[in-house]
Amino acid sequence: MKVLFILSQTPYPWWLYGRSSYYFTLLSLSKFIDVHVSFPVPIVKEEYQKHLEERGINSYPFILDTKDRYYKLLLNLFEREPFKIRKYWNIDYKNFLIDLTRKIKPDIIQVHTPHMAFYGIELKKNFPEIPVILRMQDIVSQQIRTFLSTSKNPIEKLIALWQLKKTQKYEINVWKFFEKVIFLTKTDLQDAFEICSKNNSLNFGEKFIYIMDGIEVKENLYLKHKNKENTIAFAASDQIQNIKSLKWFLNEIWSKIYTRTKFSLNIYGKICEHFKKDEKKLKLKRVFLKGFIEDRNELDMELVKNRLFLSPTIVGSGYRTKILEAGAIGMPVICTTFDFKPFADYLKPHEHILVADTEKEFLEILKNVENSTISLEKISQTFYLTLKEKFSWDDTAKKFVNLYSQLISNKKNINEM
């Protein structure tokens, strides 16, 4: 079985900008099927291509600048599609993908994210005999909606409202073109049905399904590394949802509790650059910018020196991969209810993970950790073992392979009628 994947960015290096889902999906599926993948990049790096090739992933990058530009936002005044999606469209890339599809003759085409849905629709028109499916990493309109609910900047809110109307209409319209639309979480699946219902859209029925990502569970480094600092770790890229969530935590939670706890806060990743201008003020509140550590193994060893991993998300869609990545090395996690909701079928608060939303709740948990009322070692082991049991990448891959087989069989039966 041969599958062509179309991504919005390179899957490698996997530890940057939310690429881990792409990378490990492809890697796990390469054990069972013939994997081919195409994606836009500003520049082709041979070492990245070699890495993918050595792991059985055939890649076909296309040079395309997809960075945000102010002039593109202004041009979007005259375009139907939302700015964040329109910037990925390129007619030369469309033709490249048509030629690529003719050449490799895939059994399935799987498009990732609504940003690349244009290409899936064009390929469906050109190759009606091939099932084309859409993997929704996030519901973009839900991301904008949560952004709106937290933003206090009137200009930001105005732009977000403008883009929300475009994005919601766009997403509903593209969903109907695909044989299957595969959401990342049960929460996203339910949100999608609700969005369609509110907009008097078609009943998508069995077209909508969800398949959770897996996680690469490593050794429980947290329990292995005995010497802990009295610190909380936060690690993230400089994406807008991470910045807004960390700002909220620093202003609404940490600034009100740091004098009443012994904990300090260590921040890792490219998000540090955004807060560099406030570094002196942050240090006064025991917040330390540790910077970006590119080597993932080195980062893991740094994280497990901390007692807790923080995920204070208030904006976004899908789920926070960082929570699973922390649990995969045994880190106990404290997160918001927004973070916890996608995992509610698998995890229990205070057994696998710690959940808090208010100043009082965060402080109470930290105090209980300090006086050993909460055992972080027990939470570490429980969370870690649950991930090993329920979030296997092989299980995720098998669900996709079963779906592909079903779609190919259905297509074959229709063609024989």
CA angle (315 as vertex; 169, 144 as ends), nearest 5: 20
What is the rounded distance in angstroms from the CA atom of residue 268 to the CA atom of residue 282? 14
Burial of 46 (0-12, 13-18, 19+ CB in 10 A): exposed
pLDDT band at 131 (very low <50, low <70, confident <90, very high): very high
Q: Each residue of 205-222: pLDDT tens digit?
A: 789 999 999 998 989 999
pLDDT band at 375 (very low <50, low <70, confident <90, very high): very high
Asked, as a colleague might, if the bond just before 349 is cis with ω within 30 of 0, I would say no
Domains 2-214+392-416 and 221-390 equal at CATH topology level: yes
Give the residue carrying structure tokens 């109307």. 165
Q: Whose CA is closest to 171, among 193, 148, 147? A: 193
pLDDT score of 170: 81
**CB under 8 Å to 158, separation ≥6 — which residues?**
none
For residues 88 and 387, the answer to whether their CB atoms sit within 8 Å is no
Annotation: CATH topology of 221-390: Rossmann fold (3.40.50)
pLDDT score of 416: 61
- pTM as predicted: 0.84
Q: Whose CA is closest to 268, among 246, 293, 238, 297? A: 293
pLDDT band at 75 (very low <50, low <70, confident <90, very high): low
As a whole number, mean pLDDT of residues 185-204 equals: 81
For residues 287 and 267, the answer to whether their CB atoms sit within 8 Å is yes
CATH class of 2-214+392-416: alpha beta
pLDDT score of 201: 65
pLDDT score of 361: 98
As a whole number, mean pLDDT of residues 306-334 equals: 91
Q: Where are the domains of the chain?
A: 2-214+392-416, 221-390
As a whole number, mean pLDDT of residues 32-38 equals: 98
